[in-house]
Structure 1
Amino acid sequence: MKALLLAAGEGRRLGYHKMLRSIAGRSMIFWTLDSLTAAGFLPKDIIVVIGYNSSQTEGVLKSYDASLNVAKNPDYKNEMFSSIKTGISFVPESCNHVLVALGDQPLVKPETIKAILEKGNPLKVVQPTYNGKRHHPLLIPRSLIEAIRRAPI
């Protein structure tokens, strides 16, 4: 299984590059990576999709763990789907599920991620809900991975 960590955005609403923003002395994205690894993902199984300020972001990511996979989205100014599609291109065809997490959600608990993984379903997307609303991260089954590969941007 692979995890896509979407971290391509500019942080326009905030006015700064939020993925590299320091929280308690560490980049925000490091906290999100910690949640993924605590949930059982090895760094080599995480594909971080970057775009804005990609050179600096890639350098910071390599300082976290050099075995992370980094995918550059040249169309990062488009909707999130362009980043998902970029990341999916790095997922092996044999992969049954892919977890899609957002780099700017450092407070997602590893237990939440584990629960999503345990509910994996070959026919539908699995995602957590809170107060009746769906949220990230989400688990995409193989059939949708293939549909995303074929979809136009």
Structure 2
Amino acid sequence: MIHPKNEFMINFNREIHNVDENKKVSVLILAAGISRRMNTPKLFLPFDKNTTFIEKIISTYRNFGCAEIVIVVNKNVAGKLKNLENITIVINEKLEFERFYSVKLGLQKMEDCDFCFLQDTDNPFITADILNYIFSENLPDKYIIPSFNGKGGHPILLPKKIIEKLKNNKKNDVNLKKILSTFISFKLEIPNQKILININNPQDYKKYFNFKK
């Protein structure tokens, strides 16, 4: 049995702004990598005895209330996700390209939305509370970077204005951070350091999960 170590709580010690429930929020889950260091697709790693990383992430965004969930994957794992309900699966055939290409593919397949979270599969510790905390600062002209002690983490939140520019960008093989640096960002302090976690190899996985028979 596998148990996540040190489950965490968020202490909301600041005022949370009222969120306009009429705003459509989606999530783009980036899972096209081939996980060389992990030697197995990270989205299928066990989060607990009943749930994989991708199932945990999807469940969290559904509980938050996302209108649409889009997952960008490589062709080797696409067939294993065919039973997921109400999920849009996008296949990235150009794995040699930078991550921006996955973002662009996913956003182009997404229905019109006001905001979109960008979620990696190597951090399954996201919670609906964290998402609400981030979305409370929904800004129409800036993208939000959650941070802990000044260090940026995940997921970031994109407004429609930036979403449209990313979708229509004519470049494909370009660095995502470089593209995002052309827009204005807002760093939002989150009282939880697990927004910084990236599980990239077996050692990282063992660090945050207990293995018990």
TM-score, L = length of structure 1: 0.86
Q: Given the alignment of the two structures, is residue 128 of structure 1 paired with residue 146 of structure 2, yes or no? A: yes
Q: Given the alignment of the two structures, is residue 50 of structure 1 paired with residue 73 of structure 2, yes or no? A: yes
Aligned residue among 87, 92, 95 for 2:106: 87
RMSD: 1.7
Give me the whole-angstrom Cα distance separating, in 1, the residues matched to 2:27 and 2:102: 13
Asked if 1 retains the 8 angstrom alpha-carbon contact of 2:75 and 2:91, the reply is: no
**Superposed, which structure 2 residues align to 1:1-150 within 5 Å?**
1-25=25-49, 26-42=51-67, 45-51=68-74, 53-59=76-82, 62=83, 65-92=84-111, 94-150=112-168
Shift of 1:91: 2.2
Shift of 1:29: 0.8
Give me the whole-angstrom Cα distance separating, in 2, the residues matched to 1:116 and 1:52: 32
Give me the whole-angstrom Cα distance separating, in 2, the residues matched to 1:104 and 1:50: 13
Question: CA offsets per residue over residues 118-137 of structure 1, 9 Å max, x none?
Answer: 21101100121012111111
How many residues were matched structurally?
146
* Residue identity (%): 24
Name structure 1 gaps, 5 residues minimum.
Answer: none
Asked if 1 retains the 8 angstrom alpha-carbon contact of 2:78 and 2:89, the reply is: no
Shift of 1:104: 2.1
Asked if 2 retains the 8 angstrom alpha-carbon contact of 1:99 and 1:139, the reply is: yes
2:192 aligned partner: none
Give me the whole-angstrom Cα distance separating, in 2, the residues matched to 1:114 and 1:40: 10
Asked if 2 retains the 8 angstrom alpha-carbon contact of 1:20 and 1:57, the reply is: no
Larger CA Rg, structure 1 vs 2: 2
Give me the whole-angstrom Cα distance separating, in 2, the residues matched to 1:38 and 1:76: 31
Name structure 2 gaps, 5 residues minimum.
Answer: 1-24, 173-213
Of residues 74-83 and 50-59 in structure 1, the stretch that sits farther from structure 2 once superposed is: 50-59
Asked if 2 retains the 8 angstrom alpha-carbon contact of 1:125 and 1:139, the reply is: yes
Give me the whole-angstrom Cα distance separating, in 2, the residues matched to 1:117 and 1:76: 31
Give me the whole-angstrom Cα distance separating, in 2, the residues matched to 1:20 and 1:56: 13
Shift of 1:78: 2.3
Shift of 1:52: 5.0
